[in-house]
Chains A and B, each alone.
Chain A
Amino acid sequence: EVQLVQSGAEVKKPGESLKISCKGSGYSFTTYWIGWVRQMPGKGLEWMGVIYPDDSDTRYSPSFEGQVTFSADKSINTAYLQLSSLKASDTALYYCARPYLQGSFRDAFNIWGQGTMVTVSS
């Protein structure tokens, strides 16, 4: 079964950093882009960007560039989303997702992780 499994919920204080993981299984992890999507409480979906695990090529949305960092460790089939200098406004559900097509990020996401809830509060 193709699946993405994300790390568990996190509660952080303002100014702290955080790294969320997304482990892929059941497919060739290095040949599919992995995307990250934010959903703030009660709000819609926001495309943050994508990473290609084979060579760590990245594309960031301008709305998130400089605020987040994508990385990947292909030896353990895991992608990461790093959030630094956390603010209360970073409180959200973060999803990783995989496109339909191998080797392309110009595609819809047909495989989704279960989401990681991040709460930033003093």
Chain B
Amino acid sequence: EIVLTQSPGTLSLSPGERATLSCRASQRISSSYLAWYQQNPGQAPRLLIYATFSRATGIPDRFSGSGSGTDFNLTVSRLEPEDFGVYYCQQYGGSPPWTFGQGTKVEIK
């Protein structure tokens, strides 16, 4: 089973600032099989990025994904008020089970 470790645990930033979230895998993942989700309180997760780089339908271009091998990042170029929440990475490469990272909370500073 591939373990995903996200860092930092919490990111304290102000609206308008840039956020960079990290996701490290315990073994190499094909870039085709890494996704990012956002979850706000009381809501279901929302897919932001799939296949490392591709934005899901309706996701603004301030969200971007990058990385390869075992190291992947999600960048939010300028934080909007609705961007504060918890972010999860997920891998779906190799053999099941697919796994999620433990999450990074982006909070208002």
Q: Using CB atoms and an 8 Å cutoff, list the residues of chain A in contact with chain B.
A: 37, 44-47, 49, 59, 61-63, 95, 97, 100, 105-110, 112-115
Contacts and interface: CB of A to CB of B under 8 A. Distances in A.
- 10 closest pairs, A vs B, by CB? A108-B35, A61-B97, A112-B44, A108-B50, A45-B100, A110-B47, A47-B98, A44-B103, A44-B102, A59-B96
B90 interface: yes
Given A61-B96, A110-B56, A44 B44 contact: no
B44 A115 contact: yes
A29 to B, nearest CB: 19
Interface in B26-74: 33, 35, 37, 39, 44-47, 50-51, 56-57
Nearest to B35: A108
* Number of chain B interface residues as a range: 20 to 34
A106 B33 CA distance: 8
Contacts of B57: 110
Contacts of A106: 33, 92-93
A95 B97 contact: no
Interface in B2-46: 33, 35, 37, 39, 44-46
A33 B48 CA distance: 20
Interface of B: 1, 33, 35, 37, 39, 44-47, 50-51, 56-57, 88, 90, 92-93, 96-103
Contacts of A108: 35, 47, 50-51, 56, 90, 92
Contacts of A97: 45
Nearest to B30: A106
Contacts of B98: 47
Given A44-B102, A45-B88, A109 B47 contact: yes
Contacts of B39: 45
A45 B35 CA distance: 13
Contact of B45 (A59, A100, A112): A112
